[in-house]
Amino acid sequence: MATATSYEQWKDAAQTLDALENKSAWKDNIASDIYNYELLSDRLILLRKFKEQGDIDGLYRALREGLHHDLGNMGDIRLYQQCHFGTKSLIEDYVTEVCSSLEYVCDNNLNNLTAAKKLDFFKDILLSFGRPALLLSGGASLGVFHIGVVKALWEHDLLPQVINGSSSGSIIAAALGTHTDEELPALFDPNAHNMKAWRWMGLLNGVKGKGFMDQRQLQDYIRSYVGEYTMQEAYEKTGRSINISVSPVQQNQKARLLCGYTSPYILSWSAALASCAVPAIFPPVKLLKKDHEGRNVPYMPRLRWVDGSMVSDLPVERLMHLYDVNYTIVSQTNPHVVPFLDRSNEEGKNRLWKMPAALLKAEAAFHGKAICDYVRQHSDSEIIRQVSGHCYSMMSQNYYGDVTVAPRYKLGHYLKVLSNPDSDFIKELMLEGERATWPKIAMIRTHSKISKTLEKCIEKLKADVRTHRATLSVIA
């Protein structure tokens, strides 16, 4: 499993290991005190009965009132740690049946139910049920790991419609927002990437505040990778809601989440460039937007922005308010975060001997934040205040999601953080991203598949409504 080069290889190895350890009996036995198997079983039987009897009204009402995220605690992480592949058969059958029922209602003519009414029906369910989001952290060149995570999710039809990126993750997010599903395979080719984002500008430039690295080179790379789309144009092209985090330089400003809702006319590449502006490495960025004539003009010219991961690496609460996000998939590659991630949950371990280390880490974080907070409020040096403020923000953040996918760094990884990765290194990191995602596919599917089905039904019904209106206008 650890050396698999494709999902099929990993799956075969995982299923073989499950068979050797006799895990099939656990999967087939629906009973467990971790989740409400009776509730799920009743719902499954009810949905199947309505479909078999052709009771459309009963199916319609059952879906409208009975769909709830994480019903019966079926997404509990412990249900996905018993086997190497999959979970309880009842959970998998339930999710499959719900998606099948939703597609049945969407695709079939129902009594007195127009496409417009069905569209409202599915929108109401999605609003109530919620949706997942993918959050891509910072990580400089190590952010290539994100591409492997995205590839694994996309190949299993689990790539969320809502995607957030900070720092290097913003480049991947912006690319996802400007490349359709037909264009995405090109992004997954390690040999197709020309990642020449870094060029050393000399020590003197850095000391003067112009940045140690050439921002023009980074800008040219991002523009070639992302294109000239605004946030709104990107959504209209791909249907993906792309969000990019940026951090303020000036006082009396808060971190911003740039997206189609909050800043529809901002250029995606400009937002990504600002989110990648690591203080000292690159100078702060003035954002650009398209005006009503399509010209590139400054957005809030007095303001400058820097690395999004400094203050808001994972803006979960903001995404919850904007998109009804109820489940987060985090791809975490920050070099200063990954070594300290608690992996006990994902490994199914909770050992008492880890408690002293956890307490020591919590105590260090508490005092570290207190020191940084004191320095940023009392120092006479503007540079020291900014640095201590960023350190405080970094230590105060939560770097986890409901599912957190992360690499296991070695010394060689850190030596390439600020270097232009070649195709071999890109291939290596992408494969690490895929391997880290494969064991979590079953849990992600339980939380995400129903939302993805709802989103697809909504898009289909929107097209049906537009077609119907166009037909009426022709007749008129």
Catalytically active residues are: 167, 307
Burial environment of residue 13 by CB neighbours within 10 A (0 to 12, 13 to 18, 19 or more) = middle
CB 136 within 8 A of CB 173: yes
**Residue 290 φ/ψ, nearest 5 degrees:** -95, 135
CB 147 within 8 A of CB 165: no
CB 53 within 8 A of CB 70: no
Tokens 């592949």 correspond to: 85
State the pairing for strand pair 131-136/325-331.
parallel
CA distance 7 to 417: 27
What residue type is assigned to position 211 of the chain?
G
Q: How far is CA 395 from CA 164, 265, 361, 399, 404, in A?
A: 20, 33, 11, 10, 18
Q: How many other C-beta atoms lie within 10 A of the C-beta of residue 379?
A: 15
Q: Exposure string (b/e) for 28-60, b if CB count within 10 Å is 16 or more?
A: eebebeebebeebbebbeebeebbeeeebeebb
Q: How far is CA 47 from CA 3, 90, 119, 458, in A?
A: 41, 14, 20, 21
DSSP string for residues in 24-54 = HHHHH----SSS-HHHHHHHHHHHHHHHHHT
Token pair of 420 as six digits: 């232009």
CA distance 475 to 469: 10
Tokens 């590839």 correspond to: 151
CB 195 within 8 A of CB 143: no
**196 φ/ψ sector (left φ>0, alpha ψ -120 to 50, else beta):** beta
| Element containing residue 136 per DSSP (H, E) | strand 131-136
CA distance 194 to 343: 33
CA distance 258 to 244: 5
- Which is nearest to 104 in space by CA: 155, 50, 149? 50
Residue 131 β-bridge partners: 325
What residue type is assigned to position 62 of the chain?
A
CA-based Rg of the chain, rounded to a whole angstrom? 24
